[in-house]
Amino acid sequence: MSERKVLNKYYPPDFDPSKIPRMKLPKNRQYTVRLMAPFNMRCKTCGEYIYKGKKFNARKEDAENEDYLGIRIYRFYIKCTRCLQEISFKTDPRNTDYEIEEGATRNFMALKLAQEQEKREEDAEKEEEATNPMKLLENRTQQSKQEIELMESLEELRDLNRRQGNVDYDTMLLKYNPAELKEQIKRMQEEEDENTVKNLMGIKRKINENEELIESDDNMTKSKIKNVITPTTQSSVKKKVSKLNLLNLVKVNNVSSTNKTKESCNSLSLIGNYSSSDESN
């Protein structure tokens, strides 16, 4: 019994390959290959969308009597995933793309249209340059300006590289010692602390001075108020004293008037008594 999955086979010394009969294959044989859909398409019969990248077991064959600059063109056959309608497309080496033939329609592709538009514009510019010498001259002057700008930028880059090449990074690193940097940072922090303390002390002094000024102003205002109040009180006291004197005088006058009335009454009574004594006699 022979080996299974053998790699090396035994060929006898009297082996003649010309005696082996050749297989009779069809001229345009189809091969089954595994491929992915190269573009988005839609089935014509059922309207199913087939997206780019979907895998199919396709049949491949050579397109008869079709080539591009000696490059063979291949045709592929796939089936719709919904209705099993056969869809065929072939390679397009001229545009490095695929071309749909039957069974489906290719969907809109913005990128492809943009590339085609760009290619058309380039072709139109080339034709215009070939027919219009002034346009060709303008394009050449613009290209020369761009080249000059590029040369200037290159010179600037070279100068920059030259300046950077003259710099010795080792000496720069030695200059910037980490211990010295720490000391400098510490010194700067101490100076900042001193400045903040000085500022705070100055603010406190200003506050104390303002408080003293306010107290002195209060004392001045109080003394002025006292000076204003004392004469007014003296005048009011004098007025009260004068009023009391007047009241006393009024009272004395009243007493004297009462005495006078009493004396007049006594004199009248004496006169009456005298008159009555005369009549009795």
CA dist 103 and 174 (Å) reads 77
43 is in an annotated binding site: yes
Instruction: Give me 31's structure tokens.
Output: 């091969």
CB 71 within 8 A of CB 3: no
265 is in an annotated binding site: no
**Binding site feature residues:** 43, 46, 80, 83
Binding site residue list for Zn(2+)? 43, 46, 80, 83
